[in-house]
């Protein structure tokens, strides 16, 4: 299989653990759906550290309930911080409070970028990384 040209269900079928690190936007909404989870299989594990909207949460809940996949770990959900009750009832799902980037290196880089943005703002009136 050439990973550069395969479709997501084919990729899911070829792996034991599928990790999503995908930005959330209209083109990625519910990319991980029932077909992808079914292809991952009953021994498969799904992890999402990208954006919650990438996952069809209803399909994920059903896949975990029925054993379509073995387990899942989520650092993000679609409607943070509101966790659906159906998710909380699952023993084979671990949910973290969006802390995937909580490493010393990443948090230091974030603080450095904040400082550079503040300096740029006060020097020129524009930020390096403006938020629309």
Looking up residue 58, the CATH number of its domain turns out to be 3.40.50.720
Question: Structurally, how many domains does the chain consist of?
Answer: 2
Share of the chain above pLDDT 90, in %: 84
Catalytic residues: 51, 80, 98
Question: Any long-range contacts for 77-81 (C-beta under 8 Å, 24+ apart)?
Answer: 77/52, 78/52, 78/53, 79/52, 80/52
pLDDT in tens, 64-85: 999 999 999 999 999 998 999 9
Predicted model pTM: 0.79
116 and 78 in one domain? no
108 and 54 in one domain? no
Which residue range(s) make up the domain with 127? 101-132
Query: Is 18 within a domain?
Result: yes
94 and 110 in one domain? no
For residue 101, the tally of other CB atoms under 10 A from its CB is: 12
Query: Is 35 within a domain?
Result: yes
User: Mean pLDDT score of the chain, rounded to an integer?
Assistant: 93
């Amino acid at each position: 299989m050439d990973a550069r040209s395969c479709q997501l269900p084919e990729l899911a079928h070829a792996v034991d653990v599928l990790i999503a690190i995908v930005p959330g936007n209209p083109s990625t909404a519910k990319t991980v759906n029932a077909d992808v989870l079914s292809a991952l299989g009953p021994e498969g594990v799904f992890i999402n550290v990208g954006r919650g909207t990438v996952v069809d949460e209803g399909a994920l809940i059903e896949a975990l309930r029925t054993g379509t996949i073995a387990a899942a770990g989520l650092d993000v959900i679609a409607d943070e911080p509101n966790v659906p009750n159906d998710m909380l009832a699952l023993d084979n799902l671990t949910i973290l409070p969006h802390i995937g980037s909580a490493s010393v290196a990443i948090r230091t880089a974030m603080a450095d970028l904040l400082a550079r943005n503040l300096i740029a703002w006060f020097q020129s009136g524009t930020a390096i990384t403006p938020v629309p």
